[in-house]
Amino acid sequence: MNLIFFGPPGAGKGTQAQLLQQREGIPQISTGDMLRAAIRARTPLGQRAQKFVDAGELVPDDVMIALVHARLNQPDARRGFVLDGFPRTVKQAQALDRVLEASGRPIDVSVYFDVSDEVIVRRLAGRRVCRQGHIYHLEASPPKVPGRCDLDGSPLFQREDDREVTVRRRLEVYHRETEPLTDLYRRRGIFEPLRDGDIETVYRNLVAIVKTKTGSQKPD
């Protein structure tokens, strides 16, 4: 099964992709994770992408398309995948179509995570991480010791792209560049909206969509 998860930053796409990955045994392909790893490693791609990520802007299409193309060609993605946060523009969607058509792997369903801007700002501005990537939230899941990771004791910090001014800029970019995908996928008959809620409720609704659209017989 081949799935796309899209929606505003902080909508919970990554969390649900991880849960579905465990259920279906297909890889979660997160462009955000791949970019952050490249930035931490200071690869040429990471250095090129960092200024766009820090400013809340979209990374250029050619960089993202090359990154995703290479990942989709890896053996574990041959029998299916969950694309988390890609495509983010109509141009990227068209490029993805060409890649998948060449290998006979059409998208089964495109799931839209429908979350309001104010909820997104509250979620992301309160997020804190450590250098190892462990994630906390000042309200929803605070660390036991303020400012310190529960797992390794390292200091927590706010990512540049989680600062409120950057989050609001990211949302502006999202509405301008990514939201048009709703019409594109609706016309193709593969668009499925997923309303916000607690993790368990969203996951239950997501599994129902996947079963209906792909015929998955995996037990709940």
| Domain coordinates in residue numbering, the chain | 2-115+166-214, 116-158
Q: How far is CA 42 from CA 38, 49, 79, 92, 105, in A?
A: 6, 10, 31, 24, 33
pLDDT digits (tens, 9 = 90+) for 58-69: 888 888 888 888
d(C-alpha 165, C-alpha 150), whole Å: 28
Give me 190's structure tokens.
Answer: 């593969």
pLDDT digits (tens, 9 = 90+) for 23-54: 999 999 998 888 888 888 888 888 888 888 88
Please enumerate in sequence order all residues whose Cβ is within 8 A of that of 152, keeping only pairs 6 or more positions apart, or say none. 130, 132, 134
pLDDT digits (tens, 9 = 90+) for 190-205: 999 999 999 999 999 9
Q: Hey, which residues are catalytic here?
A: 13, 88, 127, 159, 170
Give me 19's structure tokens.
Answer: 């849960």
pLDDT digits (tens, 9 = 90+) for 164-193: 999 999 999 999 999 999 999 999 999 999
pLDDT at residue 96 above 70? yes
CATH class assigned to 2-115+166-214: alpha beta
pLDDT at residue 89 above 70? yes
